[in-house]
Structure 1
């Protein structure tokens, strides 16, 4: 039980995707996991679908928020309810490759690292590959993440024997709460180790919060100034570097490149 993985999954009106997400966890070659799905007041059939799975698989648990509070509180509730040594994040529309947990837990034990992220590919709303692959750097520190938003929630795993769980309590903000959490960890001196294998699929839905580039840019700026309280000159430096890298990634990946 010492090596159990708690899978943190927030859900909200995810009936189109949640079944495939859960099945990707059940298909893991690493079987010592629990999946805690916190539903944020869905108005569709999400809860019914999740309860169908939890009724057949005791490793899957569903908690229902009394009111809509956003992904930050849902993820935090899921994380705090978990009993696993490792905490892995999987949103209700994303998918893991079958050997994701096995390879990542082994990687973290071998490296003796508390924080890691796997490489991933991008799929569209229908689950079709877009031939876009994002590869992790060997290590990312605090400043490195500020200027190159490379880490994606679907690939993140934390070893709570090394990283205190209190650092996983997400800031109660509607946008960029995951990035703010990774910065909390990095700011404490932990580096995020990159596992350079494509072990996850990140769904880029057309109606997702991150699909609007202007809103995304505003969110990044707010993260610098309102959450991290960076100075104006350093915020400008980080934002310019972030923007240039974002443009490069968009052009490069649109040609089928591998980041």
Structure 2
């Protein structure tokens, strides 16, 4: 049975990071993968990687069909073409830990969607904190965000049981919106509590500039509207759980600028987590096992 994972990587001016990202795929203990590297900047990444000594027939190179079309459109280019049964998202500055695909494929035997905890790092790979670390567990759509409180494109999914496309009309939070699409046909996901994905937190996302904050607020508000109008067809209890998370997250957005001024360098996750903990609908044993690390 085919168990190939198509790893989808959009690339925009990624020359400074793409070698490390690709090396993390080459280092996977699961050998049955395809890396779909889609250039959104007109760059010849095949030649660039070859200069770094990287050439592998499992790497596919595609153009996005334009320049600066954005990550959503670029990911969709690959999603429209891949034939592998499983898919995973990997940004061009992130890294997979060696066993991520192996662990995810094993879990896909019983679950349509697999998410993993994150090792959040600076762009020099200095550890900042974990997100979603703790025990492995099945999570409903209404419970997922209370465990994995940020960054949702670190998933691996079975395209035969759940599929979707990224929404290019949204400036932010497209990862959560995409996951909500997958939940339409998959009643739950399986969360691996071991940090298996290195998520690189850029200085711009840590500083929460006005454009970032406005985009986050608008996108979270739109996802909340879609949830509450039945757009995803989720059960009422899942709508309630996810809507409660978004409501608290929007309140956190409103307070973050002042909190950041008082505590320079404060991560939004560290700002949000205490607010979630004070209102979590999950039993204590189902909450994230560890706070900031």
Residue deviations 1:153-189, cap 9 Å, x none?
45200012322xxx32222223222211111111335
- The answer to whether the 8 Å contact 1:147/1:239 transfers is no
RMSD: 3.4
The structure with the largest alpha-carbon Rg is 2
1:51 & 1:78 partners in 2: Cα distance?
22
Alpha-carbon spacing, 1:59–1:53, altered in 2? closer, same or farther (3 Å): farther
Give the aligned partner of residue 35 of structure 2. Answer: 35
Instruction: Please give the secondary structure, in 2, of the residue aligned with 1:16.
Output: coil
Of residues 240-249 and 74-83 in structure 1, the stretch that sits farther from structure 2 once superposed is: 240-249
SS at match of 2:204: coil
Structure 1 match to 2:270: 250
Give 1:86-235 correspondences, 5 Å limit. 86-109=86-109, 112-135=110-133, 138-145=137-144, 150=149, 152-163=151-162, 167-173=163-169, 174-208=171-205, 211-212=208-209, 214-215=213-214, 216-225=216-225, 227-228=226-227, 230=229
Query: 2:259 matched to which residue of 1?
Result: none
Q: Do the aligned partners of residues 161 and 54 (structure 1) sit closer, same or farther apart at CA in structure 2, a change above 3 Å counting? A: farther
State the Cα deviation string for residues 120-148 of structure 1 (Å, max 9, x = none).
Answer: 11000222212434327723333335777
Evaluate the alpha carbon distance shift between residue 53 and residue 83 of structure 1 in structure 2; reply closer, same or farther with a 3 A threshold.
farther
Contact 1:148/1:245, CA 8 A, preserved across alignment: no
Q: Is the 8 A contact 2:17 2:93 kept in 1?
A: yes
| Equivalent pairs, count | 249
TM-score with structure 1 length normalisation?
0.80
Residue in structure 2 matched with residue 240 of structure 1 by the alignment: 247
State the secondary structure of the residue aligned to 2:183: helix
Deviates more, 1:239-248 or 1:96-105: 239-248
Gaps of 5+ in 1: none
Say if 1:149 and 1:242, in contact at 8 Å, map to a contact too: no
Q: In structure 2, the residue corresponding to 1:207 is in which secondary structure?
A: helix
Does structure 2 conserve the Cα–Cα contact (< 8 Å) formed by 1:39 and 1:47?
no
SS at match of 2:13: coil
Q: Report the 3-state secondary structure (helix = DSSP H, G, I; strand = E; otherwise coil) of the residue aligned with 1:116.
A: strand
**Distance change in 2, residues 1:143/1:257 (3 Å):** closer
- Equivalence for 2:84: 84
CA separation in 2, counterparts of 1:239 and 1:218? 12
Moved over 6 A (4+): 146-149, 244-248
Normalising by structure 2, we get a TM-score of 0.72
User: In the TM superposition, what whole-angstrom CA distance separates every residue of 1:5-32 from its partner, at most 9, and x where no partner exists?
Assistant: 1001111111111111000000001111
